[in-house]
Structure 1
Amino acid sequence: MIKYFLTSLLLITFSQQAAAYLDPGTGSMILQGIIASIAVAGFTIKNYWYRIRAFFGKEAPSSLLDDEEDETQKPL
């Protein structure tokens, strides 16, 4: 493991400069990736919000759909 680390460090240390060009499309792709990552993280947190609250000891509130089903099943 140490041998691979030292080899990688040696290659990075003695690397030559590259004449690279980053056009505006590349910057746009990087920005799109960052925005998509934030959106996915928010969506994931939203989906697992009740599990997260239960993990920290708070009870999950009852679903609004359960209340609607109870009202529709009452006899008239």
Structure 2
Amino acid sequence: MTHRFKRFAITLMLLIALSFTFERQAHAYVDPGSGLLLFQGISAAISGALFYFRRRLKSLFVKPQAKSEHGTTPFSS
């Protein structure tokens, strides 16, 4: 299994290297709004990840409360 993965990784790296070797110059125009679109996509991905993992992130910063014995609360009268 690891031999197949190593072979796949090497093949993939060679294909990426070849794609950079044979690239042609692009005479294209990038408008100013493209940078804003890229920023919006990155910020949406980060916001979505934070929203998805909010409980795990909250548990990193908040100490867990001590559980009371037998279901009684410490302030019960």
Normalised by the length of structure 1, the TM-score is 0.50
2:34 to 26, 36, 60: 26
RMSD of the alignment, in Å? 3.0
Name the residue aligned to 1:60: 64
Aligned residue pairs: how many? 59
Normalised by the length of structure 2, the TM-score is 0.50
2:46 is matched by which residue type in structure 1? I
Name the residue aligned to 2:44: 36
Q: Any gaps of 5 or more consecutive residues in structure 1?
A: 63-69
Report 1 or 2 for greater relative contact order, CA contacts < 8 Å, sequence distance ≥ 6: 1
Name the residue aligned to 1:9: 17
Equivalents in 2 of 1:26, 1:3: separation in Å?
Answer: 33
Question: Shift in Å at residue 45 of structure 1?
Answer: 4.0
Equivalents in 2 of 1:10, 1:28: separation in Å?
Answer: 31
User: Cα 1:35–1:8, aligned 2, differ >3 Å: closer, same or farther?
Assistant: closer
Percent same amino acid among aligned pairs? 34
Q: Any gaps of 5 or more consecutive residues in structure 2?
A: 1-7, 67-72
